[in-house]
Amino acid sequence: MTHPLLDLTPLTPAHFAAVERRVAALLDTEQDVVIMQGEALLPLEGCVRGGARPGSTALNVVTGPYGRTFGNWLRECGATVVDLQVPFHGAATAEQVERALAEHPEIDFVSLVHAEAATGNTNPVAEIGEVVRAHGALFMLDAVASVAAEPLLPDAWGVDLCVIGAQKAMGGPAGVSAVSVSARAWERLAANPGAPRRSYLSLLDWKERWIDTGRAALPHAPAQLEMLALDACLERIEEEGLATRMAAHASAASATRSGALALGGGIEPYVYSARDAAPVATTLRTPTGIDAAALVADALAADPSVPLIAGGGALAKEMIRVNHYGSDATQRAVRSSLAALGAALRAAGADIDPAAAEKAVSDSWPAIAS
C-alpha cells in the first residue's frame, strides 16, 4: 500500500526551480531566490555570516527579539555593531536610521526586521530602505512575519537580502525558507573570506552549485515534503490572491485592536499607534496586577483552539499575543480569542463588556471578508 507522505517520486530540479520562481513572483523580485532547506533562522544566519566580517560596521535595528539575535551573530563575525534599540511598543523611523548612518559613516551593513510577530510592531521599510540605499550599506530584511500579511517589495525598497518563511501569514510549512539575493549582495558575499562555504549556512554554495550551473542538479536531497507543502501554499495564495490574503490580516489586526479596547477590563494594545501595529499578530498589554501568562493559560483551558500565547521571556508578565495569521486570519479566530480572553479577565475580577467587543469586531471587518 502506498503512503501519501512516504512513497513519493523524487522532487526534480525543474520542480525545485519552479518553486523558486513562485517565491520570486510572490516577492515581485527580479533577484535570485535561494530556497534554504531549513527554518528561516537558517537563511538569516547565513545572510549575517555572509555579509559581516571583521572590520565591517553594522547597524542593527532592534525592535524585538530577532534583532537581538542578529546583533549577537554580527558580533561573533567580528563586526562592530551599532544597535539602534527601539521600544517594543513602537517602530523604528527612517530619521532614526538616517541619524545613525550619519553618526557612523563606516556602516556597511544594516539589519532590520520588517514585522515582529513576537512584539506586534512593523517598521516602515520603504522609507528606511531609501536612507540605507542613499548611504550605500548592504540591507538585510527579516520579512518572515510580514510576507503575505502586508506589502513586501524588496526590489522597490532596495533590500539586498530579503528572508521569508512560510509558517506565518503564508500558512505554509516551517521547515523551508527563502531569501532573495541582489547582485550587490552576491558580490559582497563572494568578497568575504569569512562567508560560509561548504556549509549548510552557505548561500554561496547554492550559487556555485545550483544557480551558476543552470539549476540542473540539486546539491543535496531536498526536504521533499516541505518543498511540496511550500509549493501548495504558494499555489493557494495565488488562487486566493495575495491582496485578499493581506486584507484578511489587516482586518484581523484592526478588529483585534478595536475589539480589545472595547472589551475593557484594562486590556490595551501593546503597540501604541495602529500605524506601527503589524497585520500578522496583535499584542495586548494586561492591566497591572494581572499576569499575562496566567491569563492566557486560563483562556486556553477554556478554549484550546484560540491562537493566544503570552509574550516571551520577561514579556510573559504583561504581553498577550493574538497570532491571527495564516488560517487564523479570520473573524472567527479573532472573536473566539477575545471571548476567551474576556472570560479569563472576568474570572480574574475585571469588569468587561463582551458585547461591545463583538460589535467592534463586526464594525472593523469589511463586509467581503469572513
The grid coordinates listed for 278 are: 503589524
Q: Which of 17, 110, 144, 271 binds ligand PLP (CB under 6 A)?
A: 144
For residue 32, give the H/E element and its range. strand 32-36
Taking CB atoms, the residue at the shortest distance from ligand PLP is 145
Vertex 27: Cα angle to 81 and 202 (nearest 5): 50
Q: How far is the CB of 37 from ligand PLP (least distance, A)?
A: 15
CB neighbours of 183 closer than 8 A, spacing ≥ 6?
Answer: 31
Q: Is 145 in the site for ligand PLP (CB under 6 A)?
A: yes
Q: Look-up: residue for cell 520542480?
A: 15
Q: Of the two residues 20 and 116, which places its CB atom closer to ligand PLP in the complex?
A: 116
Distance CA 23, CA 26 (A): 5
Contact pick of 46, 56, 66, 331 for ligand PLP (by CB under 6 A): 66
Choice from 112, 113, 147, 267 touching ligand PLP (CB under 6 A) = 113
Residues 153/126, Cβ–Cβ less than 8 Å: yes
| 116 belongs to the binding site for ligand PLP (CB under 6 A) | yes
Does 142 interact with ligand PLP (rule: CB under 6 A)?
A: yes
Q: Which stretch binds ligand PLP (CB under 6 A): 28-36, 142-150, 232-240, 341-349?
A: 142-150
Can residue 40 be called a binding residue for ligand PLP (CB under 6 A)? Answer: yes
Least distance between ligand PLP and beta carbon 193 (Å): 28
Please report, to the nearest 10 degrees, the dihedral formed by the alpha carbons of residues 75, 79, 80, 83 taken in order. Answer: -60
Nearer to ligand PLP, 42 or 77 (CB): 42
User: 207: which DSSP letter?
Assistant: I
Cβ atoms of 313 and 297 within 8 Å: the answer is no
CB 353 → ligand PLP: shortest distance, Å? 32
User: Residue 178 belongs to what H/E stretch?
Assistant: strand 177-181
Spatial distance between the Cα atoms of 170 and 38, rounded to a whole number of angstroms = 16
- Is residue 39 part of the contact set for ligand PLP (CB under 6 A)? yes
360 forms part of the interface with ligand PLP (CB under 6 A): no
Footprint on residues 85-104 left by ligand PLP (CB under 6 A): none
Contact with ligand PLP (CB under 6 A): which of 38, 51, 165, 342? 165
**Which distant-in-sequence residues (6+ apart) come within 8 Å of 306 by Cβ?**
299, 300, 333, 336, 337, 340
Residue count at the site for ligand PLP (CB under 6 A)? 13
Q: Name which of 64 and 259 has its Cβ closer to ligand PLP.
A: 64
Q: Rg for the chain (alpha carbons), in Å?
A: 21
The DSSP line for 108-129 is EEEEEESB-TTT-BB--HHHHH
Does 45 contact ligand PLP by CB under 6 A?
no
Is residue 52 part of the contact set for ligand PLP (CB under 6 A)?
no
CB of 23 to ligand PLP, least distance (A): 16
For ligand PLP, the closer of residues 66 and 365 by Cβ is 66
Task: Kindly state whether residue 168 participates in binding ligand PLP, applying the rule CB under 6 A.
Answer: yes
Q: Is position 328 an interface residue for ligand PLP (rule: CB under 6 A)?
A: no
DSSP per-residue codes, 210-246: IITTTT-S-SS---HHHHHHHHHHHHHHHHH-HHHHH
Residue 73 has φ and ψ, to the nearest 5°, of -65, -45
Q: Using the rule CB under 6 A, give the single segment among 138-146, 206-214, 260-268, 299-307 that binds ligand PLP.
A: 138-146
Q: How far is the CB of 161 from ligand PLP (least distance, A)?
A: 13
> Binding of ligand PLP at residue 26 (CB under 6 A)?
no
Residues that bind ligand PLP (CB under 6 A): 39-41, 66, 113, 116-118, 142, 144-145, 165, 168
